[in-house]
């Protein structure tokens, strides 16, 4: 059975850190204000606005220390990441989860943070939250149901979402443990200590800025490693800003995914609101969900534990 971290209440502390790419102090102002309006105390890590002078929010040692501090601090009940980018892979093997395992807390983020989701679920059976990060609070969309979905998740509301049908959908119903995130990070996790199983799971994938041929290659990596043979269903989120080569690949991202999955008979949903766009609902990784792909709409509902 997966361990669900304690849900938060007003007065609890949420930590903000950047374990990967750089984020300026200015970009967390709106996020911090929103969290405080929700009644939470915000603790800002040293890597927010880090002065590394390069792509990262700090050196590997600085980013590791900042994240480790938040993981070990018993007063911090959830960790919300500033941004993803790249960098968690460089420090994941050095992170100590000893105290975290004894006193779990919500880990909230997506993109590069996918590696933390897969690592924590695969090794410790602890649920995490794939969802918007600090930068999403700067959106001009008001009210913003996507950032608000974080509040609902961490305060204990059962998550339930719907979206419209897509022409590539394969109808059906499935129940399973929800796992997934960024396709690049899922593919890179294969064969490492962060590797994951898909049997009995609903797998979701999304990505941004990848070459179309590389999306094809990463999906074949999942296929060759058996990840596409055993899931109960697959949810396809946004694939944003995909790039093509001078000689065109010949398919867009959704067509690539559709054609690779055509040999399987499980339900498939395209266009679900998860990914690098504004439409990015918070989802509980490691928790059981029920997916229904119908002709007119798709629903994903957390199963009562």
* Angle in degrees, CA 238, 242, 247, rounded to 5: 145
From CA 257, how far away is CA 274, in angstroms rounded? Answer: 16
Catalytic, out of 34, 117, 206, 302: 206
Provide the edge-to-edge strand list for the sheet that holds 76-81: 41-44, 13-17, 76-81, 106-109, 128-130, 283-285
Tokens of 218: 């990463």
Q: Which residues contact 89 (CB under 8 A, 6 or more apart)?
A: 112, 115, 185, 188
CA–CA distance, 81 with 275 (Å, rounded to integer): 15
- Give the separation between CA 293 and CA 169, rounded to whole angstroms: 7
Active site residue 206: yes
**Active-site residue, selected from the candidate residues 57, 111, 149, 194:** 111
Please classify residue 6 by burial: count the beta carbons closer than 10 Å to its beta carbon, then call 0-12 exposed, 13-18 middle and 19+ buried.
middle
3-state helix, strand, coil in the chain (%, to 5): 30, 25, 45
- 276 noted as active-site residue: yes
Q: Is 167 among the residues known to form the active site?
A: no
How far is 70 from 110, CA to CA, in rounded Å?
A: 18
* Rounded distance between C-alpha atoms, residue 220 and residue 257, angstroms: 10
CA distances from 254 to 60, 186, 201, 278 (A): 35, 17, 21, 19
Catalytic annotation, residues: 111, 206, 276
């Amino acid at each position: 059975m997966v361990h669900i971290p304690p849900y938060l209440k007003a007065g609890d502390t949420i930590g903000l850190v950047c374990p990967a790419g750089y984020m300026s102090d200015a970009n967390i102002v709106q996020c911090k204000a929103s969290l405080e309006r929700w009644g939470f105390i915000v603790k800002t890590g040293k890597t927010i606005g880090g002065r590394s002078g390069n792509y990262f929010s700090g050196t590997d040692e600085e980013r590791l220390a900042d994240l480790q501090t938040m993981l070990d601090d018993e007063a911090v009940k959830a960790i919300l990441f500033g941004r993803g980018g790249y960098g968690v892979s460089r420090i994941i093997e050095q992170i100590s989860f000893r105290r975290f395992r004894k006193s779990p807390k919500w880990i909230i983020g997506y993109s590069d943070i996918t590696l933390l989701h897969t690592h924590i679920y695969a090794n410790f059976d602890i649920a995490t939250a794939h969802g918007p990060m600090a930068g999403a609070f700067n959106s001009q969309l008001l009210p913003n149901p996507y950032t608000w979905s974080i509040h609902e998740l961490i305060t204990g509301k059962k998550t339930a979402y719907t979206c419209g049908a897509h022409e590539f959908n394969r109808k059906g119903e499935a129940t399973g443990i929800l796992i997934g995130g960024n396709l690049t990070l899922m593919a890179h996790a294969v064969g490492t200590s962060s590797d994951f199983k898909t049997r009995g799971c609903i797998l979701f994938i999304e990505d941004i800025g990848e070459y179309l041929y590389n999306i094809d290659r990463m999906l074949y990596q999942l296929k060759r490693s058996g990840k596409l043979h055993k899931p109960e269903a697959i949810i396809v989120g946004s694939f944003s800003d995909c790039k093509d080569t001078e000689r065109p690949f010949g398919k867009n991202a959704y067509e690539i995914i559709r054609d690779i999955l055509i040999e399987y008979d499980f339900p498939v949903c395209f266009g679900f609101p998860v990914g690098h766009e504004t439409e990015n609902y918070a989802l509980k990784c490691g928790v059981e969900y029920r997916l229904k792909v119908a002709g007119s709409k798709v629903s994903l509902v957390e199963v009562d534990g």
